[in-house]
Structures are given as C-alpha cells and as structure tokens.
A and B are shown apart, each in its own frame.
Chain A
Amino acid sequence: MRFDTVILGGGLTGLVAGIRLQKAGKETAIVSSGQNALHFFSGSFESFGEPTRELADLFSEAGIHLHYQEGVRLMPMGTFRPSALSLEDISLFPNPKFGNKVLLVNIVGYHDFFSSFLAQGLEEAGMSVRIRFLNLMEMGIKTPGEMRSVQLARALDRNWEKVVQEVRLLLKDDDTIILPQVFGLEDASIPGRIRQSLPAQVVFAGTLPPSVPGIRTLHLLKHRYEVLGGTYLMGDEVVQAHLHEGVVHSVVTKNLGQHYLEAENFILCTGSFFSKGLASTPEKVYEPIFGADVSFLPDRSSWYNPSFAEKQPYIGFGVCTDECLKVLKEGAPLSNLYAAGSILGATHPELGMGAGMCLRSALKAADSILEL
C-alpha cells in the first residue's frame, strides 16, 4: 500500500500532522497501537502561545474549540498551574481567587474526584467552599459498577440535565460551581450547555485519568482526519522498517504483515517511554523501530534524581534530529523520516514541552514535508 506520508503514532501529534497533510491534499495513513497520551490529557496545551489562525481552524473544523488567555487553571489536587491555550472546558483565570463562594459538587461513591483536596486549595486562595454530594441512584440515574470517569461520563451524557436540576436545588448565594470533568464524552456541546443552564460561573475540575475531555478530543480529531480521507489503522503497530542508503522505503506492521506501507515520507511520533516510542535496558535507551540516534546519558545512575519531586533527567532523553526534525541515524539524517511529539524529549527546548511541544513539532514536521 502506498501513501504520500505514513505516520507512526495516532496520538495528538500524529493526528494534527495527519490532518494538516490531508488538508494540503496529501494521502496519509496513521498507524496507531491504541491508547495514547490524550487519554491522560489535562486539557491545556502547555507552553503553547497564542494559536495561529490556521491552528485554531484546524481544531474548530474538528469540532474542538480552543480558547487562549494567559492565566492559571485549577488542578485536581487543589493547586494552580500557569496555563494559556486550552480546551474550552478548561477555565482559565487571571489569578487563583476566581470566586468568593464556591459550591463544590461531587458524586456519592466516586473516589476519583478529590473534593477535599480541591476545597483546601480554594480556601487557601481565599474562597469559601461548600462541598455537596449528588446521589445518582436516588436521582434515578443508573450508576456504573465501578465509578471511573469514562463510565460516569457515559451515564451522565444522557442525564446531564438531571444533574443541572439537582445542582440548582443545592445552589444558594454561591457565585461559582465546581463540577468534576465527567461531562461531554460523546457530545462536545454538553459542558457549554451546562454552563448556560446554571446561574453561576461553572468550573470543571479534573479527575483521575482517563481524561474525559482528552478522549473526546481524540475522537473528534480522529473523526476529522478520516473525514478528510486519512486512513487510521487502529490497533496496529509498526514492527520493522526497510531502509536503504539513508532513505526509508516502507514499514511493516503487525496486522498487515506482507503488505508493506510505502511512502514518500514518514513521521515518527510514537511517544516517549510510556507509549514505547523509546525503550530502555539497564545499559541504554533506544528507539526500537528505526534504531534512530537517541540522546541519553550513558551512566544509568545519572538517569534519575532520587527525589521523586525533582526533575528527572531521563524524561529529557529523546530521538536526535536535525533542525527540520529529520531523524538522525549514526549521526546522519535520514532523508524522509521526521520525528515529532514527546519522542523528542527535551532535545528541542525551543519547541516547548508537553502538549504544546506536540502541536509545534507536528506542524513543523508537516510543514517540512510540504516544503513550506
């Protein structure tokens, strides 16, 4: 099978690069092994500045509305973190004191939303907080056996109006309502409709993973990519690459076997350690598909800081590339293989970090391919 570009990795980076290339008229395929970091997405594209028109359009055409405001957002443990470009769900505030009287709503039997930690953080920021619990069973909502974010979100997508009614009954003179981020798994409009239906500022605060806004973002991007004609190979992974004289000719996947994926260009965005884009043994860190050069410290004892809270050197390890993100192998760039996303580690500090770095490098790799 022949494509213009084959993308290894179907997370945020792969999808953004894929959509960008499809929009430019290229024929692409994405090989995705399944879960990716969007399942744990906080909702903010950290380190990304104001989005270009093109990027904002790319997302809004997919049904994802971004907003940009420099400020802080509320974290699930009750702390605050500087943030700017975010999903619409995520409330951004100029400073941590974003209200006076807060009604914090949790759900009976749900242990993945930390109302007491949140309340403590809000009180430290100078707000008064009331915590109230909704009993979904008493509200006639069939509750999942194990209450985890996604299961709850499935039940609440059909019942969010009942929640709104119940919250209205709990509301006194509060100016702010905090709800867990378990709304709008399938229907992206629900968080906005909840905000419109309540007479106070509504803030959605994060839960333990999986992230409901993250999974929704993944679904919408994937849908958009497929609408544009992209081929998303779900549940498959690249097991081998065919290279000749510094050029990648094709890759072999687990499911397609003999039917190699051939392309003009390839993008490697298989993620970092957790997603298996990088692998490690006691002796080394390596990139398992192409044997690309990896920047890492040779002495294993220097990979870690013994203090968990400190910055961990291994997280900065990544695949080496030239300035156009062409992957290096044995010191020389492969002419048609680009790396993007968290597989780069901290090798390109100018691209930022986290989801912001994924966006920047995805666009940069796509632009290099399009020779823009």
Chain B
Amino acid sequence: MNPNEFDVIIIGGGITGAGTQRDCAMRGLRTLLVDRSDIATGATGRNHGLLHSGARYAVNDAESGAECIQENLILRKIASHCIDPSDGLFITLPEDDLGYQATFVEACRASGISAEIIDPDLARRLEPSVNPEIIGAVRVPDASVDPFRLCAANMLDAKLHGGQVRLHTEVTGLIKEENTVKGIHTRSRLSGEEKDFFAPVVVNASGVWGEQICNMAGTRLTMFPAKGALLIFAHRVNNMVINRCRKPANADILVPGDTVCIIGTTSSRIPLEECLNVAVTPEEVNLLITEGARLAPSLLSTRILRAYAGVRPLVSEDNDPSGRNISRGIVCLDHETRDGIKGFVTISGGKLTTYRLMAEMATDVVCRKLGVEKACETAVKALPGSEEGSYEEVARKIWENPSTSQKAAASRMGSRVSRINSDDRRDEALICECEEVSVGEVNAAIDRMEVNSLTDLRRRTRVGMGTCQGEFCACRAAGLLAKAHGCVERERKDVASFLQERWKGNFPIGWGDTLREAEYTQWVYKNVLGL
C-alpha cells in the first residue's frame, strides 16, 4: 500500500474535521487530516465554549434547537472530561418583554429542551452573580465545553484508530481528473516540503475557508464570514451560563469556563481576506462590557483578561451570492449530486455543539461513496479521557492523596492522566502556576499531541491561559520545547510570537490591571530577560 494513499482525506483540523476523522476512522477507513495551522485555530477555538441546550435557537430555528439538545445529551456522556454541566439561565430584565418567556418555554419544550420557569429569587440564589433586577428566569440544560480539549480528544481517538494527522500543512490544490477529485497537493509550512496525497474521497471541513477549497475543486460555495467578538474575564463570576430571554442579540451570553468567564458576542460580516487576522474594535469592547454588565453587574469591576474574535463559517444558500439567505444550520454537500464533482464532500455551518452530528452526516456520505456499511458509533463510544467517572475519582485512582495540580491535570486529561504519573518527583514541578500545569503534563503533550509551538501547547494544556497569561510559564515551557525539538533559535522566536499573540488580545482592553500586567511584561521581557 502506498503510504500517500488513504480512503478519505479531511481538510481542516477544527472540531468538524477532527470529529469527521474520528468517525471515519472508527468505521474502519484509512484517514488523513491536514490543517494549514494547528488544531482548533479557527471558529472552534474562538467562541464562548458554550454547549448549547438549544434553547437559544428554539423560537426561531426549531430544527437547530432539536439538534443541539440531542447532541448536548450525547456529549455529556461521550466527552464528559471536556464538559462542565453548569446549567443555564435565560433571564428577563425590566427592559425586556416578559411575555416572550412563555413563547420561549413553549418552543423549548416543542424541541425537547427542558425549560423550567423559576422564581427570580431562586435564580438569584442559584446564581448570585446574576443581575438582581431580573423579573423572570428559566432554567435550561446549557453547559460549558472546552473546545480545545474536545478537538484534541477527537483527533487523538482518530489516531488511536489508525488515522494520520498532518498539522501546519497547507492544501495548495486539489488533484482532479476530469470531474473526479483524487487527492490534494500540500506544502508543509514548517519545512516547505511539498507532497501529494491521494484518496477516493476528500472532505472539505475547512470552515470559513470552505469557499476557497470549493474553488480549487472547480465549484462554488458562498461563505458569509460573520465576525463575533468576545471578552474573557480573569475570574469565574458565574457558575451557570447566563442568557437573555429575548430574541438573540449582541453580547447576551455569559459562559463560565474553567477559571474564567466569557461574554459575547457581536456579529458583523467581514471580507474573507480579513478572517486570518480579526481585530476587536473599541466599539465592540464597549458594547460587550455594557451589555455584559446587564447579565452580571460584577463584570464592571472584574479584570478583563483578553479580547478576541472568531469568524462563524456561515454558508449562503445555493444561488444566492448576496448572502441574504443565510443558513445557521448544518450544510452537508455531496458535490457529485450537487455539481457533478465526484469524490468531494463539503461539511460546514452548524455549531460546536452539533459537531458530532455534522461528522456523522459527512461520514455517512463518505461511506456511501466507498460502499462501507458500518454504522456510526460516535454517539455511544466515549472519547479518550472520558471513559471513567469524574476527574476527582480519576485522580483518586492514580494518586492516594491527589494534590490540586494533580486534580487539575485529571480535569484536563480525564482518564489519560495516568500517563503522566511517573515516579520522578521532578515531573511534578509546576510550569504554569495559574493553571497548575506540571512538567509531566507539558512533556506528555509534547510527546504525544504534536506540539510545535507555545501557542500549540496552550491549546492542549492551558499553559498560559490563566490570570497571568503566560508571564513566566511561556519561558519555562519554551525551555522544555527547546529540549524536545533540539532547536533553541526556533524557541526564542516562539517566545516572541507567543508574547505578540498575547498582546494582540490585550491592547484592545489595555487599561486598569491589564495595562499594569502589560507594563510588567514589557519590563520583564525587554529589560530583565533581554528577549
């Protein structure tokens, strides 16, 4: 067998691509996944981290609502180590129409989403950070999800099922014979190496870049890139997801996640060229703070850690290049039936919450094309790390008296945490103090999870995601990476680009404590360390 030949090639290392690779691999296919960058660098890693109950969509898009609740319940089982089952509130404020609540609850129930109207007093007790002015509250099964962990777990499971992953590998063209896609031309962005890979089916799971990949295939897909800006706060002020009970609008969801919370989002169409480098504007920051404080007033006095923006890969409906008929639902296109192009499938649209369903739909098309009849098992088989109970149980199985950092590692790695258990006490030394990430965990990620840079490491371990945003842990981790990769010069540049990436998220909110930290970082790196 030629090592460059596969049954299916998946373009895109976001959650949709990773999920599709896992599903294909579990059905026995030989898979290759390529991404021009790292895992979860697009929309997957740039959202709220909200596992929708579907309630947000129930009124306007019952189908999406039903898909969300179905997947929400599945993911709680198969991806338990990536999910914090926090529950959510839909609150009505004095300026909102309380009459909408009844419509909302009815629509939720019609989509199968449990929605319980609770007394505002109870809501204030359940979630002390909520705006005390609330005049109504509905409890729904929203949750938080760590998209990086979820994406990495999918990719890891694909690899455990024989899948191959090539990150930092750009697709430069599709290999086509007449009307059949036969493979991809690629170029490594690390080594510059050019390589061709072949497969009877290529899946386009490249999110907002789906339009370009379709162009390469000789067909047309009109994306409607919609930018959404978000703010991360340095403390977790809320324990439950807080939503506004009204028609979806700007900055009306506050999601707790690990040690932080995230307010978002805005929505504005941007040109495709800007998608690689989206900046958050001062107007967006102001709007997010003002509206966010209506959900939880304490946000006004909470330090903002970072501003960032993602781009939703929305798809314009066929034959409507104006983008007026946008589908927020799942778009799964078999280009053979749509445009007469064989061996080419596009999966786009949808949501983080429905990634598994999207993967199943795409994989069904792939299997039909390949004549494979094995049924999908991703809804019942747990992801690596989620096979055993809670992280506290997992930690207790491994360590007699787990320390907080061992518990933190178990919460990130789930049952796979046993792999970092070594007899060497030195592995317990902390690299990142904010997130309690040890030398052992960093080394485990470097060894097994394709870490090329500090930013890659951050996505896999949370090193540098905490309150100090990588003040010192960046340097410590760079030392370990330099050792692992044997290249010091590369690591020195890596530290510089890590700091630049961090600054990009800081200066839009550069006042108060953020400015203090920024000044300190300037001082330490330029004058003390001499970067």
A interface with B by C-beta (< 8 Å): 37, 40, 42, 46, 75-81, 108-109, 111-112, 114, 116-117, 119-120, 146-147, 206, 208-209, 211, 272-274, 276, 279-282, 300-301, 303-304, 306-309, 312, 314-315, 354
Closest to B286 in A: A282
Q: Are B431 and A119 in contact (CB under 8 A)?
A: no
Q: Are A306 and B530 in contact (CB under 8 A)?
A: no
Closest to B472 in A: A208
A308 to B326, CA, bound (A): 38
A272 to B529, CA, bound (A): 20
A292 to B397, CA, bound (A): 60
Q: Are A206 and B512 in contact (CB under 8 A)?
A: no
Kindly specify which of B29-37, B40-48, B113-121, B482-490 makes contact with the partner chain. B482-490
Check B236 for interface membership: any CB of A closer than 8 A. no
Check B523 for interface membership: any CB of A closer than 8 A. yes
Q: Which of A112, A117, A147, A273 contacts B515 (CB 8 A)?
A: A273
- Given A146-B430, A314-B515, A309 contacting B507 (CB threshold 8 A): no
Q: Are A40 and B528 in contact (CB under 8 A)?
A: yes
B interface with A by C-beta (< 8 Å): 282, 286, 426, 429-431, 439, 472, 475-476, 478-480, 482-483, 488-489, 491-492, 495-496, 499-500, 502-504, 507, 510-512, 515-520, 522-524, 527-531
Q: What are the residues of chain A within 8 A of B492 when measuring CB–CB? A: 77-78, 117, 120
Q: Are A146 and B429 in contact (CB under 8 A)?
A: yes
Q: Are A147 and B531 in contact (CB under 8 A)?
A: no
Q: Are B429 and A111 in contact (CB under 8 A)?
A: yes
Q: How far is the CB of B429 from chain A (nearest CB, A)?
A: 6
A146 to B499, CA, bound (A): 25
Q: What are the residues of chain A within 8 A of B515 when measuring CB–CB? A: 273, 280, 314
- Given A42-B528, A211-B528, A308-B503, A272 contacting B519 (CB threshold 8 A): yes
Q: Are B282 and A76 in contact (CB under 8 A)?
A: no
Q: Are A111 and B431 in contact (CB under 8 A)?
A: yes
Q: Which of A81, A116, A119, A354 contacts B530 (CB 8 A)?
A: A81
Q: What are the residues of chain B within 8 A of A206 when measuring CB–CB? A: 528-529
Q: What are the residues of chain A within 8 A of B499 when measuring CB–CB? A: 308
- Given A77-B531, A79-B531, A108-B426, A120 contacting B488 (CB threshold 8 A): yes
Q: What are the residues of chain B within 8 A of A306 when measuring CB–CB? A: 503-504, 507
Q: Which of A81, A112, A273 contacts B472 (CB 8 A)?
A: A112
A272 to B480, CA, bound (A): 34
**List of 6 A-B pairs having minimum Cβ-Cβ separation, nearest first:** A75-B530, A308-B503, A120-B488, A79-B530, A304-B507, A111-B476
Q: Which of B504, B510, B528 contacts A76 (CB 8 A)?
A: B528
Q: Are A111 and B439 in contact (CB under 8 A)?
A: yes
Closest to A120 in B: B488
A273 to B500, CA, bound (A): 20
A154 to B359, CA, bound (A): 56
A209 to B431, CA, bound (A): 14
Max chain B CB contacts within 10 Å: which of A42, A119, A147, A206? A42
